[in-house]
Amino acid sequence: MRNYKNQKKILLAVDCIIFGFDNKNLKILLIKRDFEPEKGHWSLMGGFIEPDEAIDDAANRILNDLTGLDNVYLEQLRAYGAVDRDPFERTISIGYYALIPISDKTILNKEFSAKWFNIADAPKLIFDHSTMVANAMARLRRRALGKPIGFELLPEKFTMKQLQTLYEAILGEELDKRNFINKINALDILLKTEEKDMNSSRKGSFLYTFDEVKYRRKVEEGFSFKL
């Protein structure tokens, strides 16, 4: 048996890039760091992995500590291990990004002084956290073009306009309304309800829901989501 007692210890952490959507803008959830180094500066939500804890479980715990939410979309991004990324201790961080709908039910833990920022207006972050956000945005854009990941950011019922606005926010470009609606309808993964959002116009806009059961069945049959 090899003995590891002479090996130097390296800290292992998780940082969560948390995206949200308020029906107009793509947002990121940041916290104000309350300890050194970089006390008082904006940061991603993170924490150290416990000795008896799986990495995915640590990411879910950290996300839950801040938002109180479980069972949200959470995907491992990559590892960040530059020798000098933390000036106090050698720390490797595993980045995760999460997608959560912003609503009245999203109650943030006041302990962390958390705040939503429009992704375009986010402040400078500590350490390499801005790089993590840029990497997460690039991954999110790739995912959005290949699978209906955007629905994770929407309320259960949404208008076609809200859906288009979300994809424009993710992709960073304006989309032609007619082409977008035609492509979405051709995918046949939405259910049109009889309800309307009366805030959008005098006539109102029909509300839709994402048919996850139909989507999964279509994927098993070889369906490919493409915008």
Identify the band that residue 200 occupies on the pLDDT scale cut at 50, 70 and 90: confident
Mean pLDDT of 41-65: 96
Asked whether residue 91 carries a pLDDT value surpassing 90, the answer given is yes
Name all domains of the chain by residue range, CATH numbers in brackets.
11-146 (3.90.79.10), 154-220 (1.10.10.10)
Spell 79-99 as b/e; 16+ CB within 10 A means b.
Answer: ebeeeebbeeeebbbbbbbbb
When the pLDDT of each residue in the chain is averaged and rounded to a whole number, the result is 92
Is this prediction's pTM over 0.95?
A: no
Task: Decide: residue 29, CB within 10 A, 0-12 exposed, 13-18 middle, 19+ buried.
Answer: buried
